[in-house]
Amino acid sequence: MSQVKANDTVKVHYTGKLKANGQVFDTSTEREPLEAQLGQGSLIPGFEKGLVDMKVNEKKTIEIPKEEAYGEIMEDLFHKIPLDQLPQEVKPEVGMGLVSKNPDGTERQLRVAQVEEDHIIVDANHPLAGQDLVFELEVVEIH
């Protein structure tokens, strides 16, 4: 029986949880399995490492330290934005998601971290930065 190896394309069902409190942040159980090719940078390093050597229909639980997931929270990704630079219809609240357009036209996801009288502080870190993660994996297909 074949095992997952570098550069394979796999289909995998997963459930991702925060190690700190067990809260589920994402799962594929109610939809199609995730399909990805290893070695392409589309998966976090710890997830990809966890898949290597698994067989079809094998299940396992892996722990991924933040260094092999979304990294540490970086202070330089917090930015102060004057309220007069926001669209008038936006009423910022802590935790609210915002989208910023980069000069090259790509979009960046932001989260409102703080609301002050004349400005807000936005956080451009990945929402799971600074978190150790736990994933339950099940390989469905290797090709």
In a domain, 80, yes or no: yes
Helix/strand/coil for 80: strand
Q: What is the CATH number of the domain that holds 50?
A: 3.10.50.40
Using pLDDT thresholds of 50, 70 and 90, give the confidence band for residue 139: very high
Clarify whether residues 83 and 105 are in a common domain: yes
Retrieve residue 131's tokens.
């978190």
Contacts of 84 (CB under 8 A, 6+ apart): none
Clarify whether residues 81 and 115 are in a common domain: yes
Clarify whether residues 92 and 61 are in a common domain: no
Cβ(38)–Cβ(48) below 8 Å: yes
Clarify whether residues 134 and 117 are in a common domain: no
pTM equals 0.84
Mean pLDDT of 83-96: 92
In a domain, 31, yes or no: yes
Establish how many alpha carbons lie within 13 A of residue 86's alpha carbon, considering only the half-sphere containing its beta carbon: 21
Number of domains the chain is built from: 2
Our measurement of the distance from residue 132's CA atom to the centroid of its chain's CA atoms, rounded to an integer in Å, reads 12
Please give the residue range of the domain that contains residue 49: 9-71+128-142
